[in-house]
Amino acid sequence: MIRLVFDARMIKMSGIGRYIRSLIPELQKNFELILLGNKNDLSKYNVKVIPVLKPPYHPLEQLELFKKIPEAEIFWTPHFNVPLLPLRVKKRIATIHDIFHLTPFSRLNFFQKFYARLLYKNALKKSNIVFTISEFTKSEIIKYFPFMKKNIHKIKVIPHFAESIFKKKKFGEDERTTFLRKYDSPQNYILYVGNIKPHKNITGLIEAFTYLVKEKPSLKLMCVGQKENFITGNYNIKELLKEKGLEDKVIFTGIISDNELIKLYHFAEFLILPSFYEGFGLPPLEAFACGCPVIVSDIPPLREVCGNAAFYVNPFSIKNIAEGMERLIENSDLRKQLIKKGFKQLRIFNKEKILQKYIRTLNILLK
């Protein structure tokens, strides 16, 4: 059986972690799979795990990866932090989700950006295949690394998908009330799913919510996702909430289980994703699957994901974000239309077809 070594160190993270978790079961079926990472994090998978202790981006990870990656037909890094040193593998694959770290939205310092560029360039040059999850990110790769115009055949666009667990369910009113009490939330709330990195525009969302809550004082903003331990984070949020008098109006849940997230999608007025920059945008697909209306930024990758199934706002205009939220709150017919369109849009991102596309691409690579 063909041996595939997969770097799974980031499995506990939100976006990339979900990407890794979605691929491992399919790779298990088709290859002799070896995972790199923390044995405790990967214990649920019945495969060989090679412990790698150094975290992603740490310069010393390069030496550890060089020593520990065994002979294999394929080595796959699901991010751009690929090994710089030679490996005992026949083919190398990388997934580049976005080029965010090189954009003006990134807050990396000069040396961090220099190292990120080195890793991106190395990933593009050394990989036999570069997977990316949107046509937008493919265009960004070519924009920041023009030499890839001659190697465009190496870039394979395969989108992400919502896991099967995300689907429309029926919940009783008592179950809804009991569940929301856990988060000290009323019946009406707006949902945000994502981290608090600056490009996610969480501060812009809070500023816009300030205007909305004046008209609807019972409304709350529920923010789900990782909010700490980033290289570059947005750590002035607490001060902003205090300044705006929103400390009891904005709830940060931290990372929660998928079952809890499904309920939050179901009970929310709508999901909002006001990002300045994205490589893809998975939360809208999860919201579509759960019958939750969606507001997103009018930026190319989110247009690519959401089509006509979302309400679009200008992420650079706090007023426009506020107006968009107010319109959806007050217009139940619009919310119903978006829900219907969301279910239709979701069909484009079929899990089985997407996973099979990965397997076919890997098999073609080895021929």
For 107, residues 6+ apart whose C-beta sits below 8 A from its C-beta are: 198, 232
Q: In this structure, are residues 80 and 94 in contact, taking their beta carbons and an 8 Å threshold?
A: yes
Range(s) of the domain holding residue 10:
3-161+350-366
**Would the pLDDT of 23 be above 80?**
yes
Query: Which CATH number covers residue 244?
Result: 3.40.50.2000
Which residue matches tokens 């202790």?
Answer: 53
Asked if 149 and 180 sit in the same domain, the reply is: no
Interval 217-236 mean pLDDT: 71
For 179, residues 6+ apart whose C-beta sits below 8 A from its C-beta are: 171, 260, 263, 267
- In angstroms, rounded to a whole number, what is the distance separating the alpha carbons of residues 83 and 324? 44
Asked if 144 and 278 sit in the same domain, the reply is: no
Domain annotation covers residue 341: yes
| Nearest Cα to Cα of residue 193 among 266, 280, 276, 254 | 254
Residue-wise pLDDT for 335-365, tens only, equals 999 999 999 999 999 999 999 999 999 999 9
Antiparallel, parallel or unpaired: β 48-51 and 32-37: parallel
For 33, residues 6+ apart whose C-beta sits below 8 A from its C-beta are: 4, 6, 24, 27, 45, 47, 48
Asked if 18 and 111 sit in the same domain, the reply is: yes
**HSE-CB for 98 with a 13 A CA cutoff:** 19
Asked if 115 and 92 sit in the same domain, the reply is: yes
Domain annotation covers residue 167: no
Alpha helices in the chain (DSSP H): 15-30, 61-68, 110-126, 135-144, 173-182, 202-215, 237-244, 258-267, 283-289, 300-306, 318-330, 332-346, 351-366
| Nearest Cα to Cα of residue 306 among 335, 267, 337, 341 | 341
- In angstroms, rounded to a whole number, what is the distance separating the alpha carbons of residues 125 and 141? 12
In the three-class reduction of DSSP (H, G, I as helix; E, B as strand; rest coil), residue 209 is classed as helix
Poorest-pLDDT segment among 103-107, 121-125, 284-288, 311-315: 103-107
Asked if 13 and 48 sit in the same domain, the reply is: yes
Question: In this structure, what token pair is assigned to residue 28?
Answer: 């298990």
Domain annotation covers residue 143: yes
Domain annotation covers residue 231: yes
Domain annotation covers residue 166: no
Asked if 355 and 335 sit in the same domain, the reply is: no
Q: In this structure, are residues 137 and 96 in contact, taking their beta carbons and an 8 Å threshold?
A: yes
Asked if 19 and 144 sit in the same domain, the reply is: yes
Asked if 54 and 197 sit in the same domain, the reply is: no
Asked if 279 and 184 sit in the same domain, the reply is: yes
pLDDT at 172: 85
Quickly count: other Cβ atoms within 10 Å of residue 336's Cβ: 12
pLDDT at 239: 87
Domain annotation covers residue 277: yes
Interval 247-270 mean pLDDT: 92
**Would the pLDDT of 130 be above 60?**
yes
Poorest-pLDDT segment among 58-67, 222-231, 236-245, 312-321: 222-231
Residue-wise pLDDT for 293-327, tens only, equals 999 999 999 999 999 999 999 999 999 999 999 99
**Would the pLDDT of 1 be above 50?**
yes
Count of residues making up the chain: 367
- In angstroms, rounded to a whole number, what is the distance separating the alpha carbons of residues 81 and 9? 11
Domain annotation covers residue 168: no
Quickly count: other Cβ atoms within 10 Å of residue 160's Cβ: 21
Asked if 237 and 148 sit in the same domain, the reply is: no
For 102, residues 6+ apart whose C-beta sits below 8 A from its C-beta are: 113, 116, 117, 120, 144
DSSP 101-135: GGSTT----HHHHHHHHHHHHHHHHH-SEEEES-H
Q: In this structure, are residues 284 and 310 in contact, taking their beta carbons and an 8 Å threshold?
A: yes
Rounded to a whole number, what is the largest CA-CA distance in the chain?
63
CA dihedral 151, 110, 198, 235 (to 10 degrees): 150
Name the pTM for this structure. Answer: 0.92
Asked if 238 and 328 sit in the same domain, the reply is: yes
In the three-class reduction of DSSP (H, G, I as helix; E, B as strand; rest coil), residue 173 is classed as helix
Domain annotation covers residue 252: yes
Asked if 120 and 50 sit in the same domain, the reply is: yes
pLDDT at 192: 97
**Number of separate domains in the chain:** 2
In the three-class reduction of DSSP (H, G, I as helix; E, B as strand; rest coil), residue 32 is classed as strand
pLDDT at 232: 43
